[in-house]
Structure 1
Amino acid sequence: MRKIISLFAFAAVLAAQSPSEDKRLVFSTFNGGDRYDDATAVAVDPGGFIYVAGESESRDIPVKPVGGKPLNSAVFKAYLTKYSSEGKEVLWRAQIGGSSNTVAHAVALDKDGNIYVAGTTGARDLPLLHPIQDKQGGLNICFVMKFDPEGTLLFSTYFGGERNEEGLALALDSVGNIYLAGRASSAQLPVKNAMQPQISGGGQDAFIAKITPDFQLAYATYLGGNSGTDNIYAIAVGPDDSLYVAGETMSTGMATEGAYITLPQSYSSFVARVKPEGDGLIYFTYVGWKGGYTSIRGLTVDRDGRAYVVGHTSSKQLPTSENALQTAFGGGFRDAFLLRLSVDGTAAEYLTYLGGSSSGPTDPDETATAVKIDARGYVYITGYTNSPDFPGFRALQSNHGGKFDAFLLRLDVDQKQLISSTFWGGVENDESLALTLGPGESATIAGITYSSDLPLSANALQTKLGSGNDAFVCQICDPWLGIWFGDLSEARFTYVLGGEVPAPINSVVYAGCPQAFPAEGPESTEPWLILEKDGGTVPMKLKLSVNPDGLAPGEYKTIIKVTVNDAFHPVLEIPVTLVVQEPPVVIEDPSPAN
């Protein structure tokens, strides 16, 4: 019997309207042309500009080839698209490739707004700039590119050996070092300062490379064992700029002392934390359980340095934590899962299934592909499922559309509280492959859709499916109420009897979203407090004034409330204090005047 917290049994769902009409939807659009298109990576900068990368076979999309040369001979090209905030327009679209197929797998941003793209290419004529490797000597090897916010190429390089490499993951640290990871079958990878300088006996290893901000190779290393199935799907940089990596392995003997799991179970995954110089591991733990296989697909790290990983598992024997959202396998062939490790990688602090009961037509039938953590420590997870009973709460789309649907879930791990969970899809297959957060409370997912009836926003840039499938991009902003007092930390007035009335306090009630939400209140029940607002929606400009006439000295307190029913915490309570003071006593000087 499936054991899911009782919240799912009685959760109220905001389903009176269609997903496209839900006020939390910022935008949703197709992104494709006359042939195959997908989106494998997405990032958002502080200004709200959205960057989507993926793979395209389409010939009818306006693009600017990187390097200026038309890419007519390759079937598949990588692309990088920049959307304006709220997805209102496409600002530019760069086409990446050469004379052979090229695929983008990852995208990242630095603090200056530059964009980095990594992937795999068979092209030997990729446009290069300041490369750390200027030759493509293999079949398919990695590439990394850097663009400025206007789409101008700043850096481009190959990375690989004589056979096949895939650049699957990309991250940057606080000083601009670039980390590339994936899998390699070449024995001649350009290793440097490596903790593992040679490929293992299995024939395929994971790899990690670090490139400095001035485009020098700091280190490059294999990471693998005896199985030939080692790869890295996801990487993240911790608060101290240490690198975390996660992927799959069947290799034995790789765990560090005291690791959470010291032996692989069937087909397992792993999480490792790498020393800053790349010359060793702080920890390496397997992630996998008896009775099935486990695949990690997403990784993030919180402010305390704890790794969170998601993916899918066929094991029905997960030792879920006491506060798990879902303690038992949901059914079907695979369930998604969420694991939080301790800082030192020796224990599972949180482990839960995430899944429904249906068996899908393909493997996996349910998976989580990406995970992020917001400023409050809440966990966002995306992926896809074909289970109509996948746990939902406050859903924009409460009903399973058909076949695979994308999903987006937000969870308070410590309080065992699902904040929201929604399907996103139509009657055909829809898979969310990438996730990013910001600005504010926004979450953006991207992936691939085969559904002509995918829920779209009224402002969608592309309203028709371009071919049998397209990429899609969807941004949702779930309001979280707060108030800003400018330079003040609170609404506190001080009035001295007989003196001037305190100046008004101007504030803004916000929801962390670009769209407006209907709001009720605030109203004052105290005659000494005067409220003026600029309308009935949030964001709301609110002016607070006081009238202290007739008040005796003392402290007067009240709480005013703003209610937004679309928010998880719908009521914002705003304390207001007025302190009335006696005027200072004037003591006359008793000494006689000269």
Structure 2
Amino acid sequence: MSNIKFSSLFVLFFLLAQAAHCQPAWQWAAAGPVDTTGFPPFAWHASDAAGNLVVAGYFSGRMTLGSYTLQGAGQSNLFVARLSATGQWTQAIEVAGASHTDFYGLAVALDSNGDAIVGGSFASASITLGSFTLPNARAGQLDGFVARLSAAGQWVQAVRVGGSSNDEVVAVALEPNGTCVVAGNFGGAGIQLGSTSFTNRSPGGAGSDIFVAWLDRAGQWTQAVAAGGHDSDQVRALARRSTGELAIGGSFLGYDISFGNQTVRNVSAGHTDIFVARLTSTGQWTQATAAGGFFDEGLSTVSFDGNGQVVATGNFASSTCNFGSTTLLSSTGRTFVARLAAGQWTQAQSINGLGIGAAQAAGNGDVLVAGPLASLR
């Protein structure tokens, strides 16, 4: 049986060398950015085959990364920076909005050319990325964005995502040809992605639905699918397998949620359960599975292992949380790691900690997780 391994993480950026039958060893550690407010910004990262790292996050005030100093203009500013394989800062770019910008959510991917694809959401009247200015359809509400930063540090593409209500870009993944797969949420009446439009399924657009869409190198939406129910549904994670198959994970509040002809039900109305759904590279939903208890559950990450099984992590507030035939008890922890095979939960473990910040299923089926450490069982 594959193993689930746990480790604590308290440095921001790291490379862990791991070889079969060898003791893992830290390669290097770079000081994480700290802004003049005294708080470290949240950061997301992606790496290439050579070990170079792209990091994106938020900051306010002034922030220093090696020899680079960034001066923010708003309450929350976006930064994108690069670290060499030896842990040296080689690039740092900042993005501010037209006024007091608030950035929300962030996702990063790195393509074979060294371009960094950054996705997220903004609430200001507009944001400017190099020569691209993206207006918000309704300032104060969230609009999403997807932007491409070249290896030389130039913004070469920026696309706005959204309508007149709150819309988010939550996760991105890359196909070998450079097409970016984007996952997010949309509120209000609906959303338009290229020539494809979706209507929000929640009454009056009061809740949110989910979208997955494909954006090519030219900045054109080539296909898109949606999913949802009659209340608030939120995607929180996206993973792509080498075959092109995708997995998304998140939470849903209503009685049920549908992914094409796949429908799963909530254990308790009025509280969130988690879902994991799979779809093909052509946008066909093939599986959907739920888990939960009688209070709120949330999902943090999804990833594929070497056998194509999906590993999901998250947290639960219920005294018991059911993953198929496995029931987790809050007395042993409120954070979970669980595995899906052919749409069925086959493993689930709870952790007595504060939550999981990152998780990745390895090719041999092991799962490596990291997060803040309170206690561990």
- Unmatched tracts of structure 2, length 5 or more: none
Q: Which amino acid aligns with 1:172?
A: L
Percent of paired sites with the same residue = 21
Q: Which amino acid aligns with 1:424?
A: I
The 3-state SS of whatever aligns with 1:418 is: strand
Question: How is 1:123-162 mapped onto 2 (pairs within 5 angstroms)?
Answer: 123-127=61-65, 135-161=71-97, 162=99
Q: CA deviation at 1:157?
A: 1.4
After superposition, what is the alpha-carbon deviation per residue over 1:113-151, rounded to whole angstroms, capped at 9, x for unaligned?
A: 1122211000324337689xx652222111112112331
Tell whether 2:331 aligns with 1:402.
Answer: yes
Match of 1:275 in 2: 215
The 3-state SS of whatever aligns with 1:175 is: coil
Question: How is 1:487-498 mapped onto 2 (pairs within 5 angstroms)?
Answer: none
Aligned with residue 418 of structure 1, among 333, 345, 351: 345
After superposition, what is the alpha-carbon deviation per residue over 1:405-441, rounded to whole angstroms, capped at 9, x for unaligned?
A: 221122223xx44342222226xxx322322233643
Tell whether 2:308 aligns with 1:377.
Answer: yes
| C-alpha distance in 1 between matches for 2:109 and 2:194 | 27
| C-alpha distance in 2 between matches for 1:419 and 1:338 | 14
Match of 1:80 in 2: 13
Aligned alpha-carbon RMSD (Å): 3.3
Q: CA deviation at 1:187?
A: 3.0
- Assess, with a 3 A threshold, how the Cα gap between structure 1 residues 25 and 200 changes in structure 2: closer, same or farther: closer
The 3-state SS of whatever aligns with 2:244 is: coil
Aligned with residue 242 of structure 1, among 166, 172, 179: 179
Match of 1:302 in 2: 241
After superposition, what is the alpha-carbon deviation per residue over 1:452-497, rounded to whole angstroms, capped at 9, x for unaligned?
A: 3x22xxxxxxxxxxxxxxxxxxxxxxxxxxxxxxxxxxxxxxxxxx
Which is bigger in relative contact order (C-alpha 8 A, separation at least 6)? 1
Q: Which amino acid aligns with 2:95?
A: F
Tell whether 2:243 aligns with 1:316.
Answer: no
- Unmatched tracts of structure 1, length 5 or more: 1-13, 15-22, 33-51, 53-78, 360-364, 456-594
Aligned with residue 444 of structure 1, among 368, 371, 375: 368
Contact 1:128 1:156 in 2 (8 A): no
The structure with more radius of gyration: 1
Question: How is 1:219-368 mapped onto 2 (pairs within 5 angstroms)?
Answer: 219-227=157-165, 229-255=166-192, 262-265=199-202, 266-277=206-217, 279-290=219-230, 292-319=231-258, 327-331=264-268, 333-345=271-283, 347-355=284-292, 357-359=293-295, 365-368=296-299
The 3-state SS of whatever aligns with 1:408 is: strand
Bigger drift between 199-208 and 312-321 goes to: 312-321
| C-alpha distance in 1 between matches for 2:281 and 2:29 | 41
Q: Which amino acid aligns with 2:227?
A: V
The 3-state SS of whatever aligns with 1:176 is: coil
| C-alpha distance in 2 between matches for 1:404 and 1:319 | 30
Q: CA deviation at 1:298?
A: 0.3
Q: CA deviation at 1:223?
A: 1.5
- Assess, with a 3 A threshold, how the Cα gap between structure 1 residues 171 and 439 changes in structure 2: closer, same or farther: same
The 3-state SS of whatever aligns with 2:329 is: coil
After superposition, what is the alpha-carbon deviation per residue over 1:486-545, rounded to whole angstroms, capped at 9, x for unaligned?
A: xxxxxxxxxxxxxxxxxxxxxxxxxxxxxxxxxxxxxxxxxxxxxxxxxxxxxxxxxxxx
| C-alpha distance in 2 between matches for 1:180 and 1:313 | 26
Q: CA deviation at 1:366?
A: 0.5
- Assess, with a 3 A threshold, how the Cα gap between structure 1 residues 255 and 127 changes in structure 2: closer, same or farther: same
Contact 2:123 2:139 in 1 (8 A): no
| C-alpha distance in 1 between matches for 2:171 and 2:287 | 19
Aligned with residue 391 of structure 1, among 314, 323, 347: 323
What TM-score, normalized by structure 2, do the two folds share? 0.83
Q: Which amino acid aligns with 1:146?
A: R
| C-alpha distance in 2 between matches for 1:399 and 1:167 | 29
What TM-score, normalized by structure 1, do the two folds share? 0.55
Q: Which amino acid aligns with 2:89?
A: L
Contact 1:255 1:286 in 2 (8 A): no
Contact 1:368 1:383 in 2 (8 A): yes
Q: CA deviation at 1:402?
A: 3.0
- Say how many residue pairs are matched: 364
The 3-state SS of whatever aligns with 1:235 is: strand
Q: CA deviation at 1:322?
A: 8.2
Q: CA deviation at 1:170?
A: 0.8
| C-alpha distance in 2 between matches for 1:437 and 1:25 | 9
The 3-state SS of whatever aligns with 2:355 is: strand
- Assess, with a 3 A threshold, how the Cα gap between structure 1 residues 321 and 90 changes in structure 2: closer, same or farther: same
Q: Which amino acid aligns with 1:182?
A: G
